């Protein structure tokens, strides 16, 4: 019996670190970008809490060098703070992906990482990473 058990509190961090915290779905609308020109696509990321505890969540999206997360062409990484997710709750975030004159034809791999935080967004307890592909035609 641990110290927290005596006072009616338990350490849920061990449970959250052992299992996959989320079910993550991604979708592009439209599903292709225009090569060698300016166009955009919206990436919809749905995150569902699979744990039995409420968790603080965020998502980080990283794009390759020839794609951008803003119209100017400077941002290659973006964090979206989802907030608290109750058990079995699902929230959706929308991120715009931009192509530009330097975007060649081909497939591009994006990295989407969902984090479980504790206390604040500076402390990470667990994470889940997914790679998604978008084509430029």
On whether the pTM is more than 0.85, the answer is no
> What domains sit in the chain, N to C, each tagged with a CATH number?
3-136 (2.60.40.10)
**In whole angstroms, what is the distance from residue 88 CA to residue 94 CA?**
20
Surface-to-core class of residue 50, CB atoms within 10 Å of its CB (0-12 exposed, 13-18 middle, 19+ buried): middle
> SS in 3 state form for 24-53?
EEEEEECCEECCCCCEEEEEEEEEEECCCC
Omega of the bond prior to 96 within 30 degrees of 0, cis?
no
User: Residue 70 carries which DSSP code?
Assistant: S
Q: What is the pLDDT of residues 18-71, one digit of tens each?
A: 678 899 999 999 999 999 999 999 999 999 999 898 999 999 999 999 999 999
């Amino acid at each position: 019996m641990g110290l927290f058990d005596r006072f009616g509190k338990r350490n849920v961090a061990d449970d959250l670190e052992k299992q996959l915290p989320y079910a993550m779905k991604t979708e592009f609308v439209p599903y292709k970008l225009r090569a060698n020109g300016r166009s955009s696509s919206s990436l919809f990321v749905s995150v569902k809490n699979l744990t039995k505890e409420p968790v603080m969540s965020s998502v980080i999206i990283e794009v390759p060098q020839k794609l951008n997360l803003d119209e100017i062409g400077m941002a290659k990484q973006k964090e979206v703070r989802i907030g608290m997710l109750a058990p079995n709750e699902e929230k959706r975030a929308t991120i715009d992906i931009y192509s530009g004159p330097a975007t060649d034809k081909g497939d591009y791999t994006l990295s989407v990482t969902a984090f479980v935080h504790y206390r604040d967004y500076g402390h990470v307890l667990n994470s889940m990473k997914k790679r998604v592909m978008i084509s430029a035609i």
